[in-house]
Amino acid sequence: MVSRYEQTLQNLVESGFTSVASVGFNLPPIMARYAASDFFAPRIRQFIYLTDIELEHLPESPIQDNEFYKILGLKLWHDGSPYTGTMALEEPYLFNSLTQMMGIS
Amino acid sequence: MRMVRLLILLSLWVLLNVSCSSEHAADTIFIGGTVLTVDENNSVVEAIAIKDGMIIQVGTTTEISAMANSSTKIIELKGQTLVPGFIAAHEHPTLTAVFAETIDLSAFTFNSPDDMWQHLKQQIALADKGDWIYGMGLDPVLMPDLVLPSKAFLDKIAPNNPLVIVSQTMHSFWANSTAFAEVSIDNQTADPGNGSYYGRDQQGNLNGFISESEAASPFLDN
């Protein structure tokens, strides 16, 4: 599993990503930190949000000593999906001022 | 003449090391390009300096070159544009890793629903009877002519295996009758909630659709 996680991070790096926010469903921090190290050099910045079933991994204070791995807090609100029909919206998802400006509405 | 060249080179080497001690020198500098900093003023500069994996300075090629010493790696951009790395702001790398060895059904891989379903059928034929089969990446957005699978359709293509299909968004799932039976979910099973539920037909019978991860979790524990 750790090697697959390493490959997932590496795929992000090779696609031009230098930071990734993992919003729930996380590996235990020690495994995520291990996977983030590419021969002791940082592979990618990881910003972590924990779900309510991962509270055991919440540090007592914000992590300040590591620019490349930070547990930022809890994911209190679970997002939905416009395609599954579970996303709460205040305006049409594909027809709004932004999509009109971009010509994709 | 050779002596003059040697003296010039020696002078340059001394100048580099005097002008920038190793304590303040950059590990790497990128010079001679168009660097989009995307700072609050959207500044565009020519060069940047890196030390210990961090950007420590941006500026003109002249300014940044002064931060180099003999051990600094110098990368000439030759007019090319350098942009900041992208930020993947909402990812689930652990889930991506979990599903990495499932059957790829992505619209990035297949051009048509026919090709995608044919690939799934081929993979099912390779599985041992009773093995759980997972397909990942069903994408009605990039594959607009895709007809979402019914339980009857999944029963037909996987009569001997529990089959679970995960959408590209990871918010929608589909399963066949064998999978529902394996996790003891039937027409009488209550939905976990309003947003996470089991799809049903007008008679209240399961139609194979599963909304959101809470309802799907029994299918993902195998």
Percentage of chain A exceeding pLDDT 70: 99
Q: Per-residue pLDDT for B61 more than 80? A: yes
pLDDT-derived band at B8, boundaries 50, 70, 90: low
Task: Name the residue facing B94 among A5, A16, A42 (closest C-beta).
Answer: A5
Dihedral sign, Cα of residue B86, residue B89, residue B90, residue B91: positive
Q: Per-residue pLDDT for B3 more than 70? A: no
Q: Which domains does chain B have, with CATH numbers?
A: 24-82 (2.30.40.10), 93-220 (3.10.310.70)
What's the rounded mean pLDDT across residues A81-96?
82
Q: Strand pairing partners for B57?
A: B49
Residue A29: closest CA among A5, A57, A1: A57
Q: Chain B partners of A17 at a C-beta cutoff of 8 Å? A: 85-88
Predicted pLDDT at B69: 93
Question: Which pTM was predicted?
Answer: 0.71
Interface residue B92 vs chain A (CB under 8 A): yes
To the nearest whole Å, the CA of A103 is away from the closest chain B CA by 17
Q: Strand pairing partners for A73?
A: A49
pLDDT in tens, B104-139: 999 999 999 999 999 999 999 999 999 999 999 999
To the nearest whole Å, the CA of A96 is away from the closest chain B CA by 18
Question: Choosing among B91, B106, B139, B141, which should be mutated to test the A contact, i.e. which has the most A CBs within 10 A?
Answer: B91
CB atoms within 10 A of CB B31: 22
More confident residue, B24 or A46: A46
Predicted pLDDT at A83: 79
Distance of CA B131 to the CA centre of its chain: 28
Whether A8 and B100 lie within 8 Å, measured CB to CB: yes
